[in-house]
Every structure is written in structure tokens, then in C-alpha cells.
Amino acid sequence: MAHIVFVERDGTRREVAAPLGLSVLEIAHKNGIDLEGACEGSLACATCHVVVDPQWAEKLTPPTEDEEDMLDLAFGLEKTSRLGCQIVMTEALDGLVVRLPRTS
């Protein structure tokens, strides 16, 4: 099984199991990570905003125009910001590192 590392708002790193086919948002919820996801992954908000570690950003599929539109609503946007609901775990993403922004 793949793993993902969440860097929480206080800097704590939590490595958790990441079942293939689940989104970063779903994995966060299954592991008690404080990532809101108000629209439950329907790409209608930006509350699952995460910052992808730069070493991993190029390994992700590019964001869609709809995701970019929603990211425009996110606080603390960074160059590697993505929506957790749009990152789906694959074997190639084993070890993915994402940071929760300080504000959401």
C-alpha cells in the first residue's frame, strides 16, 4: 500500500497509509487530518487546499481549468497549491508529501 506524508499546520509530519484510488482529501478524512473539504470533493470550493512539496508537484497531473478556478478562492495560495480532492493516489505517488496551509 502507498503512503502519504501530511505536514500539519503546526509542522508535525504524519505518514499514513494511502489506498490507491482514493483522493488526498479522502485519505485525510480517514486518518483524522484536519482538511475540511466542505463540498465533499465535488470541486465546488477550495477548503481542501494543500501545498504539494515541490519535489512531487511535477509528478501530478496538471490541474484542470475548474480546479484552477477554485484555487483562485483559496487563502495562502502558493506555486504548488492544489485541491486535495483532485489528487488521486497511484503507485507513482507513494511517499507524496503535502502541507496544510496555515490558513484555510
What ranges do the domains of the chain cover?
2-99
| Residue 46, C-alpha cell as written in the block | 477550495
| pLDDT tens digits, one per residue of 2-14 | 999 999 999 999 9
Q: DSSP labels for the chain?
A: -EEEEEE-TTS-EEEEEE-TT-BHHHHHHHTT-----TTTTSSS-STTEEEE-HHHHTTSPPPPHHHHHHHTT-TT--TTEEEGGG-B--GGGTTEEEE--S--
| pLDDT tens digits, one per residue of 36-74 | 999 999 999 999 999 999 999 999 999 999 999 999 999
CATH topology of domain 2-99: Ubiquitin-like (UB roll) (3.10.20)
pTM: 0.95
Under 8 Å between Cβ of 13 and 100: no
Residue in the structure block whose three cell numbers are 502507498 = 2
pLDDT at 104 over 80: no
* pLDDT score, position 102: 85
